[in-house]
Structure 1
Amino acid sequence: MHLTRFRLNAARPGARKLIASPQALHAAVMSSFPDLLPSAADQPRVLWRLDRNGNAELQLYVVSAGRPDLTHLVEQAGWPAAAATGTPGWRTYGYAPFLDRLGKGDIWNFRLTANPVHSVRVRDGQPTKRTAHVTTRHQIDWLLGRQEIGGFRIQEKPQDRRHTEHGDLHQLVVRDQRSLEFRKTGSKAPVTIKTVTYDGRLEVTDSDALRKILTEGLGKAKAYGCGLMTLAPLAT
């Protein structure tokens, strides 16, 4: 497994096009793997996430079984001149050693961009419809409901920092809520996806289950930048 980080140059038109369209960015990411066939149903899952840390700080993260070649992304949305001097424009790390070291009881900061949805039935007798959670409380509950199957437990705040009247019990922040609308190739009907980014702190309760989440994703819309959770050490 590999973890790759690529910084987009927000000043370039090609980067702005990719930022505006999860469909275009998905295609660009998949084009980084020459051995993957777009029509193959059993190919390894490729996860990606676009972090917006500021107007000029846009980081693309990719988790994949194969090692990607992002040369085309550098030319379209990076810094080609810098790449020509020997800086490739992206960094790829072996992910397996980190995953193998995960152990029960470990505590990590985490980030996850997800598509929190639930199924509702508008009228009796009609099929259920997938609907996005729109309130912060429901979005938090969506993630809390996936702790056991995901092999993690989100840490609670110390007693003196809790706001129980608002349900604010966990070391978890929901931010960067976005509604993305685009059209799939060959389709006239628009696709709308609501995404949110979670920042928080978790404890590993089942390392095998968490490794599965880190490499296969959590929730829906994985092809469009959702589902990728990454871990970071606690600040010293």
Structure 2
Amino acid sequence: MTYLSRIRINPLRAQSRKLLANPRAMRSAVLHGVPGDPISERILWRLDTDNPHRPWLYALTPTKPDWSHLVENAGWPEADGEHVNIADYRPLLAKLDTGHHYAFRLTASPVQNTKTPLKRTAAQIARAETEADKPELERGRPRSLRLGHRTAAMQLTWFLDRTPKWGFRIPATEIEPQIPGIEIDDPSPEVLISGRQRLSFGHPDRNNGTRNSQVTIHTATFEGHLEIVDPQRFTATLLAGIGPSKAYGCGLLTLAPIPAT
């Protein structure tokens, strides 16, 4: 079974400010809401902060979660209204079919792999120097480096180039011509980047648990209209997530009905 949760976060509380500022802290809070061994399960989450006064946390979990700790420490435990919603994901998955259209939202970490980066991070420079200090026979083959796309144009290209393998496509925008008889030769795909962030936070060094290394992620939030072309592949995409940095709030694709016009 799979569940999609939505939790309302109170941004004025001290614990909330810590979670909102640090994806690693938020990941820990999400994992604590899942019974059993959450590390071995595929858990996706996303923080929507379009309205900074009303942020929402979304989480997709293979087992039914309990968000009492988040509501108590970072939510609105005594306020009126619905602050947590947990929905069975199976009814949505069961009705996905070729040709179905949905509005969507996704926060992802668009990246490229290259062996010749124009500008390496401090960690990548240190790794290269360590490798260079080894005897020649002990050196491994040169590895590609993962770098985040930093411009909106490259982030959008990364997304559009990969939609076929994710089981969907982005339809062209349907625009009525402003002047009769004028046709639009190349309508744009119906997707936009509604937000971009550079996230930087500390993470325990794998080789030295007492020292933190710096993690930097460039994210983009995509919103628009999609059409399913391969239901089986699309279902796998929803459950597995899209792109890297899933532990830090990237990869969760959520769907909504297309608003009636």
Same fold (TM > 0.5):
yes
Separation in 2, partners of 1:169, 1:47 = 30
Separation in 2, partners of 1:5, 1:174 = 22
Is the CA contact (8 Å cut-off) linking 1:150 and 1:209 kept in structure 2? yes
Is the CA contact (8 Å cut-off) linking 1:4 and 1:63 kept in structure 2? yes
Q: CA RMSD in A?
A: 2.2
The reply to whether residue 144 of structure 1 matches residue 160 of structure 2 is yes
**Which digits, 9 at most, give the CA deviation of each residue in 1:121-173, with x for residues without a partner?**
227x8432111111111111111111111100011113649998xx9711111
Is the CA contact (8 Å cut-off) linking 2:174 and 2:187 kept in structure 1? no
| 1:202-221 pair list within 5 angstroms | 202-221=226-245
**Which digits, 9 at most, give the CA deviation of each residue in 1:58-100, with x for residues without a partner?**
11000111011011101111012238xxx77311000011111
Q: In structure 2, which of residues 60, 72, 75 is the aligned counterpart of residue 78 of structure 1?
A: 75
Separation in 1, partners of 2:56, 2:84 = 10
Separation in 2, partners of 1:133, 1:119 = 10
Separation in 1, partners of 2:38, 2:156 = 36
Separation in 1, partners of 2:164, 2:106 = 16
3-state DSSP class of the match of 1:141? helix
3-state DSSP class of the match of 1:82? coil
Identity across matched positions, percent:
36
Match of 1:180 in 2: 199
Q: Which has the higher strand share?
A: 1
Q: TM-score, normalised by structure 2?
A: 0.81
Residue 55 of structure 1 and its aligned partner are, at CA, apart by: 1.7
Is the CA contact (8 Å cut-off) linking 2:97 and 2:228 kept in structure 1? yes
Match of 2:250 in 1: 226
3-state DSSP class of the match of 2:99? coil
Is the CA contact (8 Å cut-off) linking 2:6 and 2:58 kept in structure 1? yes
Q: In structure 2, which of residues 89, 99, 112 is the aligned counterpart of residue 95 of structure 1?
A: 89
3-state DSSP class of the match of 1:231? strand
Separation in 1, partners of 2:148, 2:63 = 32
Residue 52 of structure 1 and its aligned partner are, at CA, apart by: 1.1
Structure 1, unaligned stretches of length 5 or more? none
Match of 2:134 in 1: none
The one-letter amino acid of 1:212's match is A
Is the CA contact (8 Å cut-off) linking 1:163 and 1:169 kept in structure 2? no
Match of 1:21 in 2: 22
3-state DSSP class of the match of 1:142? helix
Separation in 2, partners of 1:37, 1:223 = 12
Is the CA contact (8 Å cut-off) linking 1:5 and 1:91 kept in structure 2? yes
The reply to whether residue 192 of structure 1 matches residue 193 of structure 2 is no
Is the CA contact (8 Å cut-off) linking 1:5 and 1:90 kept in structure 2? yes
3-state DSSP class of the match of 2:147? strand
* Count of aligned residue pairs for this structure pair: 226
